Structure 1
């Protein structure tokens, strides 16, 4: 492939291969080929001019690798593929800009070059639609925006005010295009949040052996094994094992459901505990999840909550517009003055500026690597007065480290305690287990499988049989309350001292405490500053939830400047705490990253998942942070409150300008044509202002310039 570099910012590379270089579907294939590289994050192609836009880790050798891959592609290497949801979303935006530019172009060309009789005839032709829709509302006894629009257009034509009628219909057509765009974007975002991105699965053969195959190659009747923490990729029946499955994406119920032999599971749900083998009933587009996605895609009723409020507000103003028009005519007996009132349509500006403000804010969130699943979630984030943090992985880096290993009897030495703990913990991928295993590897403490199958009890610990004896490792609550492990007074003093300084993992063999493993997970450097900023931005209540001991939680809260915290919190406690806060009348943000956080994320008014969150946390969360910077929470607050401020400011300005036009029209100071012209110009001005960036502390000039190039490419 021959190509030319058009733009290179170091992390954003645009090349152009020419108009006939590849088809639309082959462009998706090129994108999928490039996305196989770990250093490439996003790829967008345009078959119209052979443009390829690549987001990548900005290192020189990576750029050269991209050039090598593209240079090696021949015509025979091109293949067709399906677009990713990100590509679909971008195409929706490009198509909208293309449609908008065509509408503006046609209007300008018509005004400059068409003779007046033809322009008037076209105005009458376009007016038929609006008049008919208004008549339809009237016959159904609805006093709504359609009726007002139809009456205003008809009134203007009866007064031979062709130019004002044409301008009004042009603005209404832009408003309709914006509404279609916001609905399509909402559908695309929701589909993206539900879509499964699973490449491979483990198929269990007749001999019981597991084999990893492509998810596209599985068939009905195949048996696949799904492990703890994994998303279930198919609809099917459990034929072996048992598990707790979170079905929040399917049913909205945050609590996990027990699935055992013969029970049905659905694609898109996630295993919180256990492992199961599932016989495949349906896969790919036949699953229940994909049927729901199809319903969403074909629904005409999906609208952003904020946009719906704007439309209701617009409809509520209509009767007053008719009343003012009627009163003006009764008092003045002047049809021109009455028409001046009717031509001033408050609803047109409100319907135009509100979706523009939402689109602009969601686009700005995307520019800051934050995925927002709908405008209503930005609204909830802006109105929230309480934020609840899970500690590990959110306020900390989730990279805990072993700082001390303490034998609690003479039966086992320090190295043996660490070796046993690592042997048991290596089967699980949570951060504490990883810290223990890594410490053992660093010290060269190799181990063999000296234990039977392990049983993981969520948020508590692990039970297994080690060297013929029952071994348990986990929290203080798990060992001493649930397992009734014995502890001496001397041991209690040592525990109290270490637990005040660190998070502690306890190891017991045969019912006796044998060792303490002290672990620290330092807080993020930016966490304290972020919390201070959130308080300054109006979030009054900041609460930290952690499974740590009281002393460990207290030390962490003090370091972060948090006055409210809960220690030794279980997963079910997190969701209960969130529900209690909501019952107190608080609007709650929940920030988390783990499987254990999913019930609380589902319960909150608005939820946020971190970059390295589990599959289920990302699925349940309303907003996903795509960078690892906790300051994004502050940026999101500024963006969301700025969006609401912009919408409210638009309302005030629209009322002020159009109210003034009403008064001037009634007084006869300005004719209907002037009233309509000022109304239309002010509406366009408010629309332009609605697209302005909310965040003032970041320079988007370069992004805007590149976006202009992308729109030109789409054209």
Structure 2
């Protein structure tokens, strides 16, 4: 708590860092920055290659703190600008890896010399020694510093192993270890960059310029110079550069980049549109509503980068394990080198060599990269499919879900009431005339269901601009008003009981039948008789039934619908979609209490809601999942997971991806440790060589990285 309070009082500056080769290096950089004068705290985000610094410092001081790895630090800028700079600064391959190429060439000459002049030749030894110095210079620089400060990481292990190899005359193997370690580090860096690219590619989605109309003139303007209120003109086939609201035009807009929806969405006046989406058909004039740094795409990129920095439970385990693992490996290596010659008369040369091989095989590269590469790949893939997962911890917890609770309105249903039934009793009057009277009365009402009736009238082109006298609302029961001398009442059946209007059996059955279907029934009549019945319901999403089935197939034991609606409506909708449990007539605090009960029974529980009304229940669940994050800042900020396209079909994909991520993380950790263990067993018969040691480490790193990158290829099931 104290640390959080202290942080909030200090200025925070975010910087981008280029050159991280491994998670250990990122951790060391963080430690070094924390020691700088004026810095109160620092937090490295290895997944996004960023550092947040709390306090005052300069870029020069930060680069000095990262000098051990030649880190380049720049002020965090709008991501599209930073992407451009990175593109411009890209070095040719041969320049980027020149030291590695020179060292490799020296090794080749060394082996030629060995073949021509023999192994003991001074030229041969010098060639291998030069390869060690050139190829391992940056490694030794850090390794020696670590030894002086008694810091033990993979570079310390490698430095000791290579120096030891040189001392016992294994020049060739020492040189090969240097080269293979450098290749392993490059592969690790390449794999992480590839995983980061899965989200960085989002930066290219939105254009950097837009056609804007100002003072009657049309001009191309850079997005940084576009102001809120500007009118942006978007032609067919162009991408939108900014978020806004359509003020003129009609078109179909492909929103896949933001929401993951594969089908273009119709947009007309007053509809919201997002930066990075593609205008497919008509010309649109859009009033800009957000600055470039506040657009939905910018928020998504920012939140995903933050998510990549959040440490998952498995990552915390690996970090803690690696902290103790490296010193233990050094102790084991020392014992292997010393114990057999001292106690059992073994050859010093043989067992010192074996000890050095243990140091190399103990290098924890594969273990350290096993979790972050999986998390970055999965979160990046989810973002591209329209699912925003706010951290590795939620990714893991989604994979372990046992129960999922759903809010009804706006989640399993569309949240928009529609007229489902309209019946005039005993043919009393014209149906169109009756609907016109009902709509005229409802137009003056504040009732939430009035909009459904007005929409029905507009769809059927029925005018409702008739004069209504003596209009009044009957609290909790309905409304009344006089049209052409007749007083009409619209309300629930209880209103007509109070008016002493008798319903015959057929009329009672009609009302009960509609209510049992989960519909809200409104009776229309006078003080003497029932004239019509109109039923309104919140439409169930077409996909809800399939989604619940899919979740059950995935092994989710319990699916629960939570609603404040009456039991009849709840049972009708819950039964239709196929949830295992229905809880009706709940207040917000009841939902919260029910989620707590579910957590105590099942452990990992998700709550799916709209991110506003269900905030307490979303917060109390293990994973809070908000619908429709693209248009809702609240959902983006408060939920653990946001389904950007208001599309429940993304939910099974999210669970599947999370489970796959959990499996791959476990596979990676198990494999990284198993390959070390098997290589260490080779010490017993004396078969472990430096070659086998470094190849086992490099092979493990490569396989773990490739396995983690598979998460970028997980696809949605088609419905």
**TM-score, with length taken from structure 1:** 0.57
State the structure with more CA Rg.
Answer: 2
Q: Given the alignment of the two structures, is residue 504 of structure 1 paired with residue 512 of structure 2, yes or no?
A: no
> Tell me, what secondary structure is at the counterpart of 2:594?
helix
Q: Shift in Å at residue 620 of structure 1?
A: 2.4
- Aligned residue number for residue 654 of structure 1: 672
Measured after TM superposition, the shift of residue 328 of structure 1 is: 1.4
Aligned length: 513
Which of 128, 131, 137 lines up with 2:140 in the alignment? 128
Do structure 1's residue 342 and structure 2's residue 359 form an aligned pair? yes
What does the per-residue CA deviation read over 1:367-424, in whole Å, with 9 as the maximum and x for residues that have no partner?
433333333222111011111112233323445420235899x9x9664334332443
Matches within 5 A, 1:26-425: 87=80, 105-106=97-98, 109-114=101-106, 117=127, 118-135=130-147, 138=150, 148=157, 151-152=160-161, 155-156=164-165, 158-159=167-168, 160=171, 161-172=174-185, 175=188, 216=228, 302-305=309-312, 306-333=314-341, 334-345=351-362, 347-404=364-421, 415-424=436-445
Partner of 1:36: none
- Whether contact under 8 Å (2:606, 2:622) holds in the other structure is yes
Q: Select 1:673's aligned residue among 691, 699, 704.
A: 691
Shift of residue 522 of structure 1? 4.3
CA contact (8 A) 1:365 1:372 kept: yes
**Once the 2 structures are TM-superposed, how far is the Cα of residue 504 of structure 1 from its aligned partner?**
1.0
Q: Is the 8 A contact 1:325 1:341 kept in 2?
A: yes
Deviation at residue 669 of structure 1 after TM alignment: 1.0
Secondary structure at the counterpart of residue 655 of structure 2: helix
Evaluate the alpha carbon distance shift between residue 358 and residue 566 of structure 1 in structure 2; reply closer, same or farther with a 3 A threshold: same
Instruction: Report what 2:575 is aligned to.
Output: 558
Q: Between 485-494 and 325-334, report the one with greater CA deviation.
A: 485-494
Deviation, structure 1 residue 216: 4.0
Aligned residues of 2:304 and 2:380 also touching (Cα < 8 A): no
Which secondary structure does the structure 1 equivalent of 2:406 belong to?
strand
- CA displacement at 1:341 relative to structure 2: 1.0
- 1:168 CA displacement: 2.5
Mapped contact 1:595–1:614 kept (Cα < 8 A)? no
Which stretches in structure 2 are left out of the alignment for 5+ residues? 1-75, 111-126, 206-211, 213-225, 231-242, 244-289, 342-350, 469-474, 483-487
Contact 1:406 1:414 in 2 (8 A): no
User: Following the alignment from structure 2 to structure 1, what is the Cα–Cα distance between the partners of residues 307 and 552?
Assistant: 40
Contact 1:156 1:162 (8 Å CA) reproduced: no
Q: CA deviation at 1:347?
A: 2.1
Task: Give the superposed CA RMSD.
Answer: 5.6
Could you give the per-residue CA deviations for residues 418-466 of structure 1, whole angstroms, max 9, x where no partner exists? 433244359x7xxx56433311323445456999xxxxxxxx9999999
SS of the residue corresponding to residue 589 of structure 1 reads strand
Partner secondary structure for residue 562 of structure 1:
coil
TM-score (norm 2): 0.57
* SS in structure 1 at match of 2:395: helix
1:4 is aligned to none
The structure-2 alpha-carbon separation of the partners of 1:528 and 1:294, relative to structure 1 and needing over 3 Å to count, comes to closer
| Aligned counterparts, 1:395-474, within 5 A | 395-404=412-421, 415-424=436-445, 434-447=451-464
Find 2:540's aligned residue among 517, 523, 548: 523
1:550 CA drift (Å): 0.8
The secondary structure found in structure 2 opposite 1:361 is: helix
After superposition, the Cα gap between the structure-2 partners of 1:637 and 1:299, relative to the gap in structure 1 and judged at 3 Å, is closer
Give the superposition deviation at 1:554: 0.8
CA gap of 1:319–1:647, structure 2 versus 1, over 3 A, is: same
**CA separation in 1, counterparts of 2:547 and 2:515?**
27
Indicate how the Cα distance of structure 1 residues 639 and 373 shifts in structure 2: closer, same or farther if over 3 A, else same: same
| 1: CA distance, partners of 2:707 / 2:228 | 47
Are positions 1:604 and 2:621 aligned together? Answer: yes
CA contact (8 A) 1:591 1:608 kept: yes
In the TM superposition, what is the alpha-carbon distance from 1:337 to its structure 2 partner? 0.8
1:503 and 1:113, CA in 2 relative to 1: closer, same or farther beyond 3 A? same
Pair 1:473–1:313, CA change in 2 (3 A): farther
Structure 2 residue 560 is matched with structure 1 residue 543: yes
Q: Which runs of 5+ in 1 are unaligned?
A: 1-81, 193-198, 200-213, 219-230, 232-282, 452-459, 701-715
**1:490-527 per-position Cα deviation (integer Å, ceiling 9, x unaligned):** 68967655321232166999xxx999752234433443
Q: For the Cα contact (< 8 Å) 1:417–1:514, is it kept in 2? A: no
Q: Secondary structure at the match of 1:519?
A: strand
Cα distance change of structure 1 residues 560 and 359 upon mapping to structure 2, 3 Å threshold:
same
Alpha-carbon distance between aligned partners in 1 of 2:658 and 2:446, rounded to the nearest angstrom: 42
Q: Which residue of 2 aligns with 1:223?
A: none
Are the aligned partners of 2:390 and 2:640 in contact in 1 as well (CA < 8 Å)?
A: yes
3-state SS of paired residue (1:544)? strand
